[in-house]
Amino acid sequence: MVTGSALILAGGRGSRLGYDKKKLELEGEPVLAGLITKLGALFSEILVSSNEPVDHAGIVVLKDQVGKGPLAGIYQGLKVCRSEYLYVLACDMPFISLAYIRYMQDLIQSKLVDACVARRGDGLYEPFNSFFNKSCSAPIYEALVRHEYKISPLLDRLNLQVIDAANAQRFNQGDMFFNINYQADLELAQRKAHGRADGSCS
């Protein structure tokens, strides 16, 4: 049975890329629409965080109500989602791994944590491609009203399930964390997508 909630953060203007990231395409296919379809295999509720309309039937689009940036989107998603945990992904991360998402789901079912996130080799968190519990709503709100919009300092104050870099690399060669910020990233993503048999979600 497909259950649970997922949130795609799609509010970035793509200033470094040169256009709205909601319009990203790989192999001629819209990235956002592809993510919605793939996440539908695991989640019964798909939400999109965007202050502008999203052209996809049946998708609930959430506008920021408090603060701004990704943290504001996560807060709004936690407020409205029907599940205890909310999976969070950015719309510029095309190479999701369903196996990695299932792995995180198994981890959070076995222990009560505020969030499940990966840590990179340099010690920094990967705040997206992660799970957040509804318990995060209060500390996120407090950060937003103080105009603190960075996610990493907030994560340091939460009870985390941390996945180390080596463990995360077992899935999809770590490409589920690849994101597109610049034209060079998009060109690399096109090459990666072309080299994949199914496009992205092992």
Per-residue pLDDT tens over the stretch 35-65? 999 999 999 999 999 988 887 877 899 999 9
Nearest to 84 by CA among 51, 117, 115: 115
Q: Look at residue 48 and give its three-state secondary structure.
A: strand
27: left (phi over 0), alpha (psi -120 to 50) or beta: left
Cα separation, 84 vs 105, whole angstroms: 12
Decide which of 28 and 85 is more confident. 85
**Average pLDDT for the chain:** 90
What's this model's pTM, rounded to 2 decimal places? 0.92
Per-residue pLDDT tens digits for 117-130: 999 988 899 999 99
Amino acid identity of residue 113, one-letter, is V
Quickly tell me which residue has 């996809």 as its tokens.
56
The whole-number average pLDDT for the span 78-90 is 96
Q: Residue 18: which pLDDT band, with cuts at 50, 70 and 90?
A: low
pLDDT reading at 1 higher than 60:
no
Residue 75: Cβ-neighbour burial (10 angstroms; 0-12, 13-18, 19+): buried
pLDDT reading at 12 higher than 80:
no
Per-residue pLDDT tens digits for 136-158: 999 999 999 999 999 999 999 99
pLDDT reading at 78 higher than 90:
yes
pLDDT at 57: 77
Find out whether 109 and 103 touch, Cβ atoms under 8 Å.
no
- The bridge status of strand 29-30 relative to strand 85-90 is unpaired
- The bridge status of strand 85-90 relative to strand 5-9 is parallel
Distance between the two ends of the chain, CA-based, in angstroms? 20
pLDDT at 198: 45
Find out whether 150 and 67 touch, Cβ atoms under 8 Å.
no
Cα separation, 129 vs 37, whole angstroms: 16
Quickly tell me which residue has 């979600």 as its tokens.
201
Nearest to 5 by CA among 36, 62, 37, 46: 46
The whole-number average pLDDT for the span 63-78 is 95
Which superfamily, per CATH, for 5-178? Answer: Spore Coat Polysaccharide Biosynthesis Protein SpsA; Chain A (3.90.550.10)
Decide which of 101 and 54 is more confident. 101
Cα separation, 115 vs 133, whole angstroms: 6
